[in-house]
Amino acid sequence: MKTFSYRTAGSPTDGLEPNAVFLAGGTNLVDLMKLGVATPDVLVDVSRLPLGDITDLPGGGLRIGAGVRNSDLAADPRVPPMLRQALLSGASGQLRNMATTGGNLLQRTRCRYFMDASDPCNKHSPGSGCPARTGDHRNLAILGGSPSCIATHPSDMAVALTALDAVVRVDGPAGARQIPVGELHRLPGDTPERDTVLEHGELITAVDVPGLPFAARSAYRKARDRASYAFAVGSVAAALDVTDGLVRDVRLAWGAVAPKPWRAHRAEQRLRGRPATAEEFRAAADAELEAAEPLSDNAYKVELLRRMSVAVLESLGDAR
C-alpha cells in the first residue's frame, strides 16, 4: 500500500487537498488501497462529523445522515421495506456495522479488471481500454454502458433509494446543493473514470427520502451466485399502488445491470393505468429492456430481469 497521511475533518466544508479522499467506514476504499487501485496522498476522516442521525421530515419522509451505519438504518422501523431488504441483502453483518450511507452510495465497481491495478481499465487508467467487452463480462452491464466501460454499480441500497426518489444533500467549499439520487451517478460515455457528478471536495451529508405512502407495499429482490455475502447479478426494487385491479402508481429500479442504479421509467409509464397482471408486468419490463445491449456472456440478465420484475410486482399486487 502506498504511504499516505491522515487527518480528521473539522466540518463538511473543509474540502480536500488535490490528491486526498474522504474516509468514513472504509469498507470499499481500504480494499482499493490495498490493491493499489486507489492511491491517495491524504485520507480525511469524516467519521467524527455529526452526520449520524435519522430524523423525520414533513409528509412522512426521512433524512438519513451520511454517517448512519447500514445496520442501524436497516433496524429503523420507519424505513420502507424495500430499503430495509436492500440493506440486509448487502454484504455481511460485520460490514454493515461499519459501512455508512454516504459511503455505500459512493462505492466503486467490482469489475475484475478495475480491481486489478495491473490490468488495463479505463476507470483507473483512462485510455487504456476496456478488456471486459471481449473478456470476463458475465456480471457486467446490459444497460447504459459504452465502448469505454460496461462496469456495474454494486450498491443494493442505492437501487432502493433510486426507486424511492431520494435526494442527496451535498456540502463543500463551493456551498451546499441537492442532487436527486438518480442523477448522482454518471453513465460512462467517454469518461468512465468519473463515477458521479460530485466535484472534488464535496461531501455527502445526508439523504432525504420523501414520504411515499404506497412504499409500505414495496420489496427488494436480489439474484446472486451464492446465497449470501455476494454482489448481485441482478436486482429489483419496486413499490406498487393498485386500486380496483389497476396500477395507480408504481416505482421500479434495477441493480447490477448498468453503471448506475437503473430507474425503469419506461416500464413505470407503461404500467400506470393498466391491469395489475403478470402479462402487463412482463410487457412493462420488455418495454424497458428494449434498450438493453447484452454481450455474449451476460445476455441471461435480460430474462433474469424480466422474470424477477414480474415476480416482485405480482407479489406486491397480491399483498394489497
3-state secondary structure 220-284: EEEEECCCCCCCEEEEEEEEEEEECCEEEEEEEEEECCCCCCEECHHHHHHHCCCECCHHHHHHH
Per-residue pLDDT of 89-137, as tens digits, reads 988 889 999 999 999 999 999 999 999 999 999 999 999 999 999 999 9
Res 74: pLDDT = 97
pLDDT band for position 8 (cuts 50, 70, 90): very high
Of the pLDDT bands very low, low, confident and very high (cuts 50, 70, 90), residue 5 is very high
The two beta strands, 218-224 and 203-209, are unpaired
- The end-to-end CA distance of the chain, in Å, is 53
Average pLDDT over residues 186-199: 97
Contact 276, 317 (CB under 8 A): yes
Per-residue pLDDT at 15: 81
DSSP 55: E
H/E run at residue 82: helix 81-88
Question: Exposure pattern of 271-304 as b/e (b: 16+ CB <10 Å)?
Answer: beebebeeebbbebbbbbbeebebbeebeebbeb
Using CA atoms, how far apart are residues 167 and 205, in angstroms rounded to an integer?
Answer: 11
Give the residue among 219, 176, 215 at the shortest CA–CA distance from 199. 176
pLDDT score for 92: 87
| Cα–Cα–Cα angle for 248, 249, 252, rounded to 5 degrees | 145
Q: Say how far residue 291 (Cα) sits from the centre of its chain.
A: 20
Sorting pLDDT into bands at 50, 70 and 90, what band is 229? confident
Average pLDDT over residues 128-154: 97
The per-residue pLDDT for range 235-267, each reduced to its tens digit, is 999 999 999 999 999 999 999 999 999 999 999
The cell for 112 is 475484475
Residues 53-67: what's their mean pLDDT? 97
Given pLDDT bands bounded at 50, 70 and 90, which one contains residue 319? low
Contacts of 312 (CB under 8 A, 6+ apart): 219, 221, 236, 238
Q: How far apart are CA 182 and CA 191, in angstroms?
A: 18
Fold of 214-318: Enolase-like; domain 1 (3.30.390)
Q: Which residue has the cell 470499499?
A: 28
- Predicted confidence at residue 281, as pLDDT, reads 98
Q: What is the pLDDT of residue 91?
A: 83
pLDDT given for residue 103 in this prediction: 97
Is 90 exceeded by the pLDDT of residue 1?
no
Mean pLDDT of the chain: 96
Separation CA 162–CA 183 (nearest Å): 9
Query: Checking DSSP bridges between strand 167-171 and strand 20-23, what pairing results, if any?
Result: unpaired
Residues 7, 21 contacting (CB under 8 angstroms):
no
Domain residue ranges in the chain: 214-318
Question: Mean pLDDT: which of 9-23, 91-105, 132-146 is highest?
Answer: 132-146
